[in-house]
Every structure is written in structure tokens, then in C-alpha cells.
Amino acid sequence: MPKLIVLDQNKLREHRAPELVGLLNSEPETLFVVPDLALIEMTKTETREEMLRGSFALLAQHPHRVRVAKGIQDCLRIELYSYESSIPQLIDTGHTEKLVRLMAALQGSDDEAGQADLKRIVEDPNGVHKLLARVYYDSAANRAKVGGVIDDLKNRLSPSALKDLRGGRLAREDLIYYIHGIGNLLLEWLLTTRGWPLDQVKMFRKSRPILLREHYSMVWLGLDWIARKGFESASDKRIANDLVDHDYVLTATCCDGLLSGDTRVNVAYSDLLDVLDYGPYKDD
């Protein structure tokens, strides 16, 4: 199986991505994954065409090596109603075909379907892209989501653990332990309150589904904010960017690697890989 490397948007443009250029040249079998959310990021403003052209100038030269991953929220819905991991369905073949066609249109292809797709995205006649941007960049909802995780963690951690976390003294192995333990407890609570039998919950999380990884990632984010302090005064944009980064990291944990120029994103990815290596749960 070829490797799947997730691309953060900050590594799509050639002048920012010598590593990507190197991989394209040295690993001809490696495939590159663009998360569905990246396309929402690129089309959230009126400069959609400029953003798309700049972002896909490099990948458009290698269209057969590009894949699109389903949105994390779509994956979570699949798992909650199918009782199975959605990771085997992560790559969206339909969206991949559309992106390949769109990249060709950006390069000047006269394919009518591709040009129609590009025109629809750029003009956004039905306001679809504006609506998606409002959903993903809902300041109040984003602040409530992250703030709720932070408050919950403050109640779960002991005073000494909170003190060490805020003082930068919490050992990394303890951080991994807390993310693993709390993430599993939150998943178990969510699913049992939805009527899942405990045996089914244990079987489900053995597959390390995206729903489990999503809990791990949100716990990581909450702990990181507690350690950094200042969530209450953080800008709406910073909190929204955190949740966008959260999607990239989650997608990458289901693939074979992540290419990002953001140190915090890379740290989160490394930490979550270690949490996943810890196992689903010791009594499963």
C-alpha cells in the first residue's frame, strides 16, 4: 500500500514546501491527502480563485497522487450510526475525482465539467461556501466547545496535576497518560448515554475509530490551553484555527504522516500517535 501523507494548507505552496517538493521527486508511490476542511478554508472568502490557484499550483502537476479525505464531522456521523470505524472509508473517491478535475480547470483545461465546477465555486451563486464558512467559523460555538473541554479538565485533574501543568512541570508521559485515560472515559460516557452496551463500546474502541481520536485530540487541546493560559482573552480567530488544526491532526493520525509548518500542529500529532500506541484501553 502506498503511503498517505496529509498536507496542511501551509505546505501546499511550492515556495513554502521544499519538503513536499522533495517527497514528490523522491517517493513516486507516496500519495498526498487534502482534508475536506482545507477546501473550506480556501473558499471561505471572495478571493477563492486566487487562493485555489496558489494552493494547487504544485499538486496540479501531480493530480494522480492527490486524494481528498472526508470531513471529520462526516466520519463521526458514520461511526455513531454504523457502530464501526469510518477510517477504511476516509478517502472520498468522489471528492477526489472532483478535485482532480478542478485542478485541471485551474491549469486551463477546457473540460466543460471542470470549468463549470470552478465557475460555481468562484461565483458561489447559492452561498454554499459562505454558509460552510459560517458553520466552521462560528465564534460562539467554537469558544463554547473548547471552553467546555477546558472547564471539564479542570474538574477532573487533581490540584497538583493542574499546578504542574500550568507551571510547565508535567512530564510528557503523564500528559500522554491523562489524554489516554480521560479520552477513553469521555468516549465511554458518550456512547453508553446513547444506549450502547458496554461490550459494544469496548469492541468499537479497539478499532481506534475517529470518534476516539477526536476525544483524544480535544483533551490534548484543552490541556494545552490550560498550560499556555489565556484562553479567556484569546481571539476568535485563534480558537477557530485551533479547531481547524484539530481536523488536520485527526486526519493525519489515520494516515501515514503529516506535513505541516506549524510547530504546535506537529507536537499535537506526535503526542496523539503516542496516545494511540498506548492502546485503546487496558481492560479491553
Q: Residue 239 and residue 203: Cα distance in Å, rounded?
A: 34
Asked if residue 195 is part of any domain, the answer here is yes
Residues 125 and 34 in one domain: yes
Asked which of 81, 108, 133 is the last residue of a domain, the reply is: 133
Q: Are residues 11 and 63 in the same domain?
A: yes
What is the reported pLDDT for 165?
Answer: 96
* 280: DSSP letter: S
Considering the domain architecture, whether residues 127 and 36 belong to the same structural domain is answered as: yes
pLDDT tens-digit series, residues 108-150 = 888 888 899 889 988 888 888 888 778 778 899 999 999 999 9
CA dist 145 and 141 (Å) reads 6
Percent over 70 (pLDDT), the chain = 97
In a domain, 64, yes or no: yes
Residue 12, pLDDT > 90, answer no
Q: Is the pLDDT of residue 29 over 90?
A: yes
In this prediction, residues 258-269 reach a mean pLDDT of 95
Last residue of a domain, one of 112, 133, 154: 133
Does one domain contain both 128 and 144?
no
Shared-domain flag, residues 110 and 169: no
Q: Which of 100, 133, 166 is the last residue of a domain?
A: 133
Residue 283: inside a domain: no
Measure the CA–CA gap between 108 and 183, rounded to whole angstroms.
47
Report the 3 state secondary structure along the chain. Answer: CCCEEEECHHHCCHHHCHHHHHHHHHCCCCEEEEEHHHHHHHCCCCCHHHHHHHHHCCHHHCHHHEEEECCHHHHHHHHHHHCCCCHHHCECHHHHHHHHHHHHHHCCCCCHHHHHHHHHHHHCCCCHHHHHHHHHCCHHHHHHHHHHHHHHHHHHCCHHHHHHHHCCCCCHHHHHHHHHHHHHHHHHHHHHHCCCCHHHHHHHHHCCCHHHHHHHHHHHHHHHHHHHCCHHHCCHHHHHHHHHHHHHHHHHHCCCEEECCCHHHHHHHHHHHHHHHCCCCCCC
Domain shared by 129 and 239, yes or no: no
Residue 280 — pLDDT band, cuts 50, 70, 90? low
Domain count, the chain: 2
Question: Domain range spanning residue 247?
Answer: 138-277
Q: Is residue 279's pLDDT more than 90?
A: no
Flag the least confident range among 14-23, 66-75, 135-144, 209-218.
14-23
Does a structural domain hold residue 128?
yes
Is 160 found in the same domain as 121? Answer: no
The pLDDT score that the predictor gives to residue 113 is 87
Name the band, by pLDDT with cuts 50, 70 and 90, for residue 167: very high
Position 131 scores a pLDDT of: 83
> What pLDDT shows up at residue 45?
80
Q: For residue 129, is it within any domain?
A: yes
Q: 145 with 273, same domain? A: yes
Task: Judge whether 28 lies within some domain.
Answer: yes
| Residues 82 and 162 occupy one common structural domain | no
Same domain, 270 and 143: yes
| 156 and 128 assigned to the same domain | no
Q: Where are the alpha helices (DSSP H) in 60-171?
A: 72-82, 93-106, 112-123, 128-136, 139-156, 159-166
Average pLDDT over residues 31-51: 89
Q: Report whether pLDDT(39) > 70.
A: yes
Looking at every residue in the chain, the average pLDDT score rounds to 92
Q: Both 227 and 260 in a single domain?
A: yes
Asked if the structure places residue 223 within a domain, the reply is yes
DSSP 70: P
**Domain annotation covers residue 284:** no
pLDDT digits (tens, 9 = 90+) for 47-75: 888 999 989 989 999 999 999 999 999 99
